[in-house]
Structure 1
Amino acid sequence: MEMQLKTPKYLLVTQELGFKLPLAWCLSALTIGILIQEIAAAIFISSASLFLVWLTSKLASFFFSFQEHSGILKNHIYDNVLKAIWFVSLFGLLINFFKSLLFNVGSEAFLGCVFSIVYFGFMLSASNRWGMHFVEKRV
């Protein structure tokens, strides 16, 4: 029998943040967008990025759920895959945000910065699926 690993703190923080962080991100982007961009563009970009966070979270959770039912990977490898996805998503979020902030101007910078939160959907999904291991059911 495999020993369950303790959930890392960064995964617990991500679970606790849930959709509060993307919601706050998109609301602040909406406010900034209304002030410095076109109102229609700010509304669309903010609402589309929030929808994409939700969609990526649900789709990634769906694909991660295959492990729970079929045991494709060994459980400790699955945990490491979830950690890797979390860290790669964080890296993507930060790189996309700072790349848009530093190398783009105007509406391109706004669009890139707002949409960088979409990576958080993968982080949220990986943190929520942590510990959902395959347990063999014997007949």
Structure 2
Amino acid sequence: MQFKKPKYLLITEKLGHKLPLVWCASALLIGVFTLEIATAIFISFSSFFLTWFTCKLSGFFFSFQEHSGILKNHTYDNVIKAIWFITLFFFVVNFFKSLLIKTGSEAFLGCVFSIVYFAFMLSASNRWGMHFVEKHV
């Protein structure tokens, strides 16, 4: 039984790596004007790379379900949704904590690297519905 993919997962999937790219590019521009150029470049590029790497690595771990059927398919969909919502929560909390509590380069670093949480959201949205199908011989 296939369930329809929720709209928030479709939107996340559509944003894909465009959101982290725009996020890191705007962070690069902000960093160039407010921090040292080398620091801004390093933080922006490493944040984008870490987002990409996290997305690929978490997608690899989520793919175990498709091949082994560790969880029931309905449970797997609920786990994916839970991962999406939990990482959204941490993304928002980390961003605003960095923005409101921290100062200077520490705030910049926290705000830029908060996009890494989006990688888990993107990976979860990409893997939603990748159910285990038992193969009969």
Category of TM-score, reference length = shorter chain: over 0.9
Percent of residue pairs bearing the same amino acid type: 74
Q: In structure 2, how many angstroms separate the alpha carbons of the residues matched to 1:48 and 1:18?
A: 18
Correspondence for 2:106 among 102, 105, 108: 108
Match of 2:58 in 1: 60
Q: How does 1:62-77 map to 2 (within 5 A)?
A: 62-77=60-75
SS at match of 1:131: coil
TM-score, scaled to structure 2: 0.99
Q: How many residues align?
A: 137
Q: In structure 2, how many angstroms separate the alpha carbons of the residues matched to 1:87 and 1:56?
A: 17
Q: How does 1:122-133 map to 2 (within 5 A)?
A: 122-133=120-131
Q: How does 1:27-46 map to 2 (within 5 A)?
A: 27-46=25-44
Aligned Cα root-mean-square deviation (Å)? 0.4
**What is the CA distance between 1:29 and its match in structure 2?**
0.2
Match of 1:83 in 2: 81
**What is the CA distance between 1:44 and its match in structure 2?**
0.3
Unaligned residue ranges in structure 2 (runs of 5+)? none
TM-score, scaled to structure 1: 0.98
Moved over 6 A (4+): none
